[in-house]
Structure formats: structure tokens, C-alpha cells
Amino acid sequence: MTGCREVAAVPPSYRGPMNTTAPLTSASPDFAAGRPRRSAPIRAIAKPFGPIARRMAGTRVFPLWGIVRHTGRTSGKIYATPVVVRPTADGFLIPLPFGDATQWAKNLFAAGGGSIRFAGREYRVDDPRILDLDVASAHLPPPIRFASRRLGLRSWVIVRKVSS
């Protein structure tokens, strides 16, 4: 993970250990979400629904899923990854069911942003941050909070929409 810890465009004052309990105004280029508690239930759900989600992600027909477009840390190649997306007042909240082993999140942090296709529209996003479930809960309705706790989703990425 050393490629994610040092980002040349980030001033040295922002480098240091990530505080996942910090308020939403904190920022850090670090990416340390920890290992997931239980990823087997998420994998069991994702396997049969993956092909359907890939085709429908980012459309208005299926607003639960979006597509995160990110640039590879070493290759520079542009990737498109279907993910669960929850809109917030000024951006999006995305769960990290597999913790810090998630390549799209590592790439998003290394680049300082990317774009998200959600509900038929493309949004530029920046300022990715890791939130733990307690902080992310403020942006989640009660059924999703409950499901997140049951499935062991402890970490979320929050990104801010770039105003056009």
C-alpha cells in the first residue's frame, strides 16, 4: 500500500495516519480501511447479481448501483467498476465490503478523485475519505444501517461532487 500513502500533489501537512472517526471536514490522502469482518455474505450476494449489476449499473433503471471510473495507480489505464452507491447532499457514499483490499478505492485515493456514473448522469468527484460506520450512519437510512451492521460493513468511502 505504499503507492497510496504518498501522493505528490498533497501537501506534507496532510500526510499521516488516517483518523476514520474524524468529522466529515477532515481530509487525508491515506487509504487504510482495515480488513473486513465478514466478506463471505457480500461475496455470496455479489456472485449471482454481478452480471446483472454490470449491465445496469449507472442507469436510471437500477439506482442502487453506479460505476466508479478511476485511473490505475501504476498503469495509468482508466477502469470502470460497478459499485453500490448512496447519494449524499454533496457527493456519494460507497461501502467497502472488502476493506482496504479494494483496488478501485486505492486508485481513487491515489488520484485524489475520479468520476461516478449514477442514475444516468456522470459526476466528477474528488476528496475521497474513509468513514467508519458510525460516522457514515448519518447519511444512511435505518434499513441500510441495520443491513450494514449485520453484513459487517465497517468502512465506507465518501466523495464530494466537483461543481461544474
Distance CA 18, CA 28 (A): 7
Helices (H), 66-141: 103-111, 133-136
pLDDT given at position 78:
95
**Cross-strand partners of 130:** 157
CATH number at residue 102: 2.30.110.10
The answer to whether the beta carbons of residues 66 and 92 sit under 8 Å apart is: yes
CB atoms within 10 A of CB 94: 25
* Measured CA distances, 51 to 54, 79, 115 (Å): 5, 17, 21
Supply the DSSP symbol for 63.
T
Q: What is the pLDDT of residues 7-43, one digit of tens each?
A: 333 333 333 334 334 333 333 445 555 555 556 666 6
pLDDT given at position 114:
96
Q: What is the pLDDT of residues 93-140, one digit of tens each?
A: 999 988 877 899 999 999 999 999 999 999 999 999 999 999 999 999
Buried/exposed 70-84: b ≥16 CB within 10 Å, e otherwise: beebeeeeeeebbbb
2 is a domain residue: no
The answer to whether the beta carbons of residues 36 and 95 sit under 8 Å apart is: no
110 is a domain residue: yes
28 is a domain residue: no
Strand arrangement of the beta sheet that strand 78-84 belongs to: 78-84, 65-71, 113-118, 121-132, 155-161, 91-95, 86-87
> How many independent structural domains does the chain possess?
1
Identify the band that residue 63 occupies on the pLDDT scale cut at 50, 70 and 90: confident
15 is a domain residue: no
Identify the band that residue 151 occupies on the pLDDT scale cut at 50, 70 and 90: confident
pLDDT given at position 26:
32
> 71: domain range?
33-161
